[in-house]
Structure 1
């Protein structure tokens, strides 16, 4: 079993200013968005310019932060934050939801296209291939932080990793399972899936290569967005089987996690949308 390196979450300390790895992962994601966006602009067949791309990113950043935080509050800890609404503003304490951030970005893009009189679906098609590398960067940030670790696995599996940050959950799990207690006594921590790396590979890099490749040719309007939507829903659904469910939620109906229930409609809408937009072109 490998032990997580337990990185210092602070990447750079400049006097009272602390720059965290997780913040850097967001910055890297935004930088990759701009770099890839400019490559798409250079390829032509788009009304976007470097200036409008920068403007769109500003709207997107606001959508990610507000939507991600609001989604976390509503989907994962509504009761807790309803009892103390002001604590929802404490973003620095952590707590962001991809699904909320996704909805926030969609709303931001809609408002952006209304302001600039652009086609909403074509704009989504333009940015869909640019997003997954940011998701990959975020998962690396999760791994460095040692958060969102995976479920318990066999200690002799080559991928098994112990997370010192999971000490409390390890103790809780071992108190209900004699086998886990034996492993905890032997290794000092439970062997877990490094699910952050699975998500980096699936919803990050695999999704990026698929959507980027698909977008190289002219496609029916909306189909690139539908591919991203369905692809993310599928990859996240799969990765959730290895990811530890949120302690306060556990597994929900049908033994699925909150992440899986939120990803399932994304997958269904993506598949339906992909077929619908494809048929609409053939009908023309």
Structure 2
């Protein structure tokens, strides 16, 4: 059994102002996407300044979509009782799937603005996402969130306020898979020109498989529990379409043209 590291969730405290590690992890993800996106701006034929606009759009999609998605998927009863609860972001609650939907909307708006093919743009965005996903999972771990189920594996940990039983550090599993592994695979895969939709499909497929698998050792959301078959969680239900859709996109992309790098706009 490993010792759970006691890290103060508050990174910086300046009087009444507190900056949490979880919020800083979002900043890390956006900055990483900004830096990596500027390095590959030539793949879309866009200027680095246009990439900054793209990252801003996506950041808004993550924040707004993530909050709305959490309210709809995980806190609908609270939302129905008090619609203003949606705006109480200080109480926490963000959903990957909601943020994912928000990014798709942002990508659609940006693609129309820049006259880009939608899947060409999502192929560009996909490798920029995993660092933010991994950073977010580290923020969950520091916040004592998303604890795993009871386990006797040697690396199990006793989580604060979760009783004496050791548990899977499931947020660290997600950090490794959704962050490190997913980034390495997508960055390598997208170095060379690929067919339209192939990188996006690979993102959907791998993220879906990783998330679906880790849910087996992660505690289900207490307000929902298991929602089907006595074992399926909301995370698995929302992720299953990603697996199916990702596989379908990879197959479909074989019939589409290869992305060709354009000259950057002035």
**Shorter-chain TM-score tier:** over 0.9
Query: Which of 104, 107, 127 is the matching residue for 1:106?
Result: 104
Contact 1:6 1:145 in 2 (8 A): no
- Give CA deviations for 1:122-154 in whole Å, capped at 9, x if unaligned: 111111111001100101111111111111112
1:6, 1:109 → 2: CA distance?
A: 39
Q: CA RMSD in A?
A: 1.3
Aligned residue in 1 for 2:148: 150
Contact 1:3 1:163 in 2 (8 A): no
**Rg (Cα) greater in structure:** 1
Displacement, 1:281?
4.2
Aligned residue in 1 for 2:213: 238
Query: Which of 221, 225, 234 is the matching residue for 2:200?
Result: 225
TM-score norm. by structure 1 comes to 0.87
- Give CA deviations for 1:146-180 in whole Å, capped at 9, x if unaligned: 111111112xx2111001133xxx4xxxxxxxxxx
Aligned residue in 1 for 2:19: 19
Displacement, 1:5?
2.3
Query: Which of 67, 71, 74 is the matching residue for 1:73?
Result: 71
Q: Secondary structure at the match of 1:11?
A: strand
Note the 1:94-243 alignment, pairs <5 A. 94-154=92-152, 157-166=153-162, 170=163, 189-243=164-218
Change in 2 beyond 3 A, CA 1:108/1:45:
closer
Q: Mean alpha-carbon deviation: is it higher for 83-92 or for 32-41?
A: 32-41
1:20, 1:85 → 2: CA distance?
A: 26
- Give CA deviations for 1:248-277 in whole Å, capped at 9, x if unaligned: 111121221110111110010000110111
Aligned residue in 1 for 2:262: none
Q: Secondary structure at the match of 1:192?
A: coil
2:83, 2:43 → 1: CA distance?
A: 46
Unaligned runs of 5+ in 1: 171-188
Contact 1:64 1:101 in 2 (8 A): yes
1:50 aligns with 2:48: yes
Aligned length: 257
Contact 2:44 2:121 in 1 (8 A): no
1:280 aligns with 2:252: no
2:51, 2:28 → 1: CA distance?
A: 16
Structure (1/2) with the larger helix percentage: 1
